[in-house]
């Protein structure tokens, strides 16, 4: 028997309306609004030290876009990105680095949610961000901040 999900609510919250005004595909669920990734907007999930390093790199290079931050013992962030349709090699490189790329209809909870635990908050809200960066910019940030790359460069320099 196929899984069934609770029906979407017909009431649209102000936040969901704001997200739709940005031309994002948004579903209203019992837990709140969720971004549905599509050909326009996807998401890249980073954890731990990599998340912190990539966020610093993006900020230093004025490349930051909207970032969701999830509470928990380990840092967990989801960066919204565009340009996924022409980024197959970048997606492959990200996945090879242990990064999760959410695309093709994946559901990402958007603040505010009614989840009891693990509710995301905007670390950089869509209104604060000047743009949504392309996925290749995130891939470049992951590559630039990868510690194994720094060890390789040090070995080459010696």
CA distance 137 to 152: 22
Residue 43 counted as domain residue: yes
Q: Report if residue 8 sits inside a domain.
A: no
Query: Is 132 a domain residue?
Result: yes
pLDDT reported for residue 16 = 73
Give, in order, the Cα–Cα distances in Å from 51 to each of 58, 122, 144.
11, 14, 13
pLDDT at 7: 44
- What are the tens digits of pLDDT across the range 26-79? 998 888 889 999 999 999 999 999 999 999 999 999 999 999 999 888 999 999
Judged by average pLDDT, the poorest of 10-14, 16-20, 43-47, 89-93 is 10-14
The number of folded domains in the chain is 1
Question: At 21, is the pLDDT very low, low, confident or very high (cuts 50, 70, 90)?
Answer: confident
**Residue 6 located in a structural domain:** no
Domain extent, residue 121, equals 14-150
DSSP-derived 3-state class of residue 123: strand
pLDDT tens column, 105-137: 999 999 987 776 778 999 999 999 999 999 999
- Residues sharing a CB contact under 8 Å with residue 94, sequence separation 6 or more, in sequence order: 44, 101, 135, 138, 139, 142
Residue 67, in any domain of the structure: yes
| DSSP class per residue in 36-82 | E--SS-EEEEEEHHHHHHHHHHHHHTT----EEEE-SSS-EEEEEEB
3 within a domain of the structure (yes/no): no
Examine residue 158 and state whether it is found in any structural domain, yes or no.
no
Higher pLDDT, 154 or 136: 136
Indicate whether 157 belongs to any domain.
Answer: no
Contact 35, 26 (CB under 8 A): yes
Range 79-85 average pLDDT: 96
pLDDT computed for residue 13 by the predictor: 64
Q: What is the pLDDT of residue 150?
A: 45
């Amino acid at each position: 028997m196929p899984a069934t999900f609770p029906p979407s609510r017909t009431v649209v919250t102000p936040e969901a309306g704001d997200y739709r005004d940005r031309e994002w595909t948004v579903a209203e669920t019992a837990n709140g609004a969720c971004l549905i990734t599509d050909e326009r907007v996807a998401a890249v999930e980073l954890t731990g030290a990599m998340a912190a390093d990539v966020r610093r790199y993006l900020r230093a290079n004025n490349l930051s876009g909207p970032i969701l931050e999830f509470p928990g013992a380990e840092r967990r962030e989801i960066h919204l990105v565009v340009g996924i349709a022409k980024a197959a090699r970048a997606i492959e490189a990200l996945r090879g680095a242990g990064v999760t790329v959410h695309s093709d209809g994946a559901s990402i909870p958007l603040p505010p949610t009614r989840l009891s635990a693990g509710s995301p908050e905007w670390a950089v809200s869509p209104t604060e961000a000047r743009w949504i960066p392309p996925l290749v910019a995130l891939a470049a940030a992951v590559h630039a901040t990868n510690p194994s790359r720094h060890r390789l460069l040090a070995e080459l320099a010696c």
